[in-house]
Structure 1
């Protein structure tokens, strides 16, 4: 009898051990089937990341890379490196495969022709690779529109190029750089952004490099396209609502691939009691072109016009723009007869960019005027 009880006890213990082993939690022991499912999920996650667009961030400095204690106006621009900019916005990794490259690290007032050529060639080379879907350029806001328009005229690709900056340094309260950078990466990775030329993204707005300009010294909504309008907005999703009709990027005639310098073009400003001597000084200093920021419809005083005509006779191209901020400068009257060209709707700083590139192809005033009407 005791033997039977002992055998029953052994049998009961064995059954208990078997039952306990089978009822272990999934965390304690994973079946082969469960392992296969886990590997499938991991593989799917990796595949999803590989499906994200690849965006290259080219950093040039500016306020977005600036530092201060808390001030929004007193800071040192071009201090923070590109890797720190990327690390500060880890959410970008959810929308794109992002990597960075430091081109220069300066305030945008120190962006010169040499830097423009270096940046333009680098953007072109990167976009020629099938592994890069779009480019983001971080830039100081003071001359951002000029660099953006230069890229708009010289990069032969329909892949998105987005230029971005901020009005507050990275250390300021409510810094706008991280949000602007995140949005720029999102736009650069959007299929809808292809073929629209170089774009400028700040303050939840998408603007064409051709039409946008800085309008306020310190406000975060400083970049506006007041005459022509923004081409899109960002409200979590991206919404495009305008098209660009001017020539740009892959349809542009301008190429910088073989250029190592750009012709000197100066900007002169019109005002009451101005004179002709500023034109004489620019010509003497080696200017090949002059943009005149005139009053109203690109108007020149009698004295300024004499200086402009003398410059033209010495082989210098003169383009009339306007200091008003908006509107089309038209070709008219004696200005046409004297080969004083009209900038159309380009402000003085962008007229300078186009004139520099135009002079790399021709000095024919009629052809250069055509460029201003087309680009």
Structure 2
């Protein structure tokens, strides 16, 4: 054979071998990430009497192994192991259950054999649990939460795809260091921003600043990142928290009464989030009662019931003179959790206000 032909053939063979080594699956199988799926119940674990039952069903009845079995495709993208920690509707979450979940997530993430966590959860309070984990879990490894608006027995159930997408995000290197994420309806949201905006629609979860990214054909695509402190940057230490102080929410409206506020104080509230109209407004006839409450050592925090927007300190209310607090853009339910954690560190009003503006 012509020597030049032999030389070209050898170079071609070497080139093909190098290419094969560079292509995942040809030279060796790509190492899959190890993901733990923690199930807490919710609609994704629900079942209706028929496939036509989309909004009428029993939540939290399907075990984690059956949820996983319904989406075998998750095993093509990661090594997934299931764990059932609760079997409840998310409206039944309590402070104690929040702490239990956060501690279990933290424990799992300390293992070198765990690369990420996926949590199935009811949608009613998913935004609260995810925000709590965002503030307390000290790890850069992905923690991804999901739920569903329709039970698995329903026509066009959204849970299976949400689960597949959540596992894909948890297994993505791009998700590392972005805090707790919520994956719903093909979108990736920051736990800090996301909120449920509709009682029944599958596109209910929205963030005022938009999602962080999307899941496209099982691939996570990020377009922005959260910059407020979270996870490893957070100052809140689970090891130093045995219980969360009682922080409650009262709703503002025309002709409102002080009765709810007084009842919350009597029940042991350490702080009350006033979900006021507009920019957290307080009616003139409620200033006195709220100052009485503050005089008893209970913190008063102004938030807005509108669902989004910044509450400005000393706008139409004399916050400094009253020794009240204001949220930044946290909604009342997230402000409750942030303040509960903050109160485990300080009871100084100025320091508490700094925490609201920081996180």
TM-score for the superposition, normalised by structure 1 = 0.86
Residue of structure 2 in register with 1:234 after alignment: 215
| 8 Å contact from structure 1 (residues 133, 189) kept in 2 | yes
Q: Distance in 2 between matches of 1:45 and 1:317?
A: 62
Q: Distance in 1 between matches of 2:27 and 2:47?
A: 36
2:340 aligned with 1:356, yes or no?
yes
Q: Bigger radius of gyration, 1 or 2?
A: 1
Shift of 1:45: 9.2
Shift of 1:307: 2.1
The alpha-carbon distance between structure 1 residues 59 and 46, as it changes in their structure 2 partners (threshold 3 A), is farther
Shift of 1:53: 0.2
Q: Distance in 2 between matches of 1:109 and 1:46?
A: 49
| 8 Å contact from structure 1 (residues 276, 305) kept in 2 | no
2:297 aligned with 1:315, yes or no?
yes
Residue of structure 2 in register with 1:369 after alignment: 353
| 8 Å contact from structure 1 (residues 295, 323) kept in 2 | yes
Shift of 1:261: 1.6
**1:110-162 Cα distance to aligned partner (Å, 9 max, x none):** 01111100000000011111110000110000000000000000000011010
2:236 aligned with 1:254, yes or no?
yes
| 8 Å contact from structure 1 (residues 274, 303) kept in 2 | no
2:280 aligned with 1:281, yes or no?
no
Residue of structure 2 in register with 1:9 after alignment: none
Aligned length in residues: 330
**1:237-261 Cα distance to aligned partner (Å, 9 max, x none):** 2210112111100000001224332
2:74 aligned with 1:87, yes or no?
no
Q: Distance in 1 between matches of 2:299 and 2:76?
A: 50
Q: Which runs of 4+ in 1 moved over 3 A?
A: 44-47
| 8 Å contact from structure 1 (residues 197, 249) kept in 2 | yes
Q: Distance in 2 between matches of 1:192 and 1:177?
A: 23
2:51 aligned with 1:58, yes or no?
no
| 8 Å contact from structure 1 (residues 160, 195) kept in 2 | yes
Residue of structure 1 in register with 2:17 after alignment: none
Q: Secondary structure at the match of 2:60?
A: coil
Shift of 1:279: 1.8
Shift of 1:47: 6.2
Between stretches 314-323 and 150-159, larger displacement belongs to 314-323
| 8 Å contact from structure 1 (residues 275, 303) kept in 2 | no
Q: Distance in 2 between matches of 1:339 and 1:213?
A: 29
Between stretches 308-317 and 350-359, larger displacement belongs to 308-317
**1:40-62 Cα distance to aligned partner (Å, 9 max, x none):** xxxx799626x100000111000
1:83-232 matched pairs, under 5 angstroms: 83-225=65-207, 227-232=208-213
2:287 aligned with 1:305, yes or no?
yes
| 8 Å contact from structure 1 (residues 321, 329) kept in 2 | yes
Shift of 1:357: 0.4
Unaligned runs of 5+ in 2: 1-24
**1:7-57 Cα distance to aligned partner (Å, 9 max, x none):** xxxxxxxxxxxxxxxxxxxxxxxxxxxxxxxxxxxxx799626x1000001
Q: Distance in 1 between matches of 2:134 and 2:185?
A: 21
Q: Distance in 2 between matches of 1:296 and 1:335?
A: 16
Q: Secondary structure at the match of 2:239?
A: coil
| 8 Å contact from structure 1 (residues 275, 307) kept in 2 | no
| 8 Å contact from structure 1 (residues 127, 133) kept in 2 | yes
**1:167-201 Cα distance to aligned partner (Å, 9 max, x none):** 00010011100000000000001000011110000
Shift of 1:308: 1.8
Q: Secondary structure at the match of 1:257?
A: helix
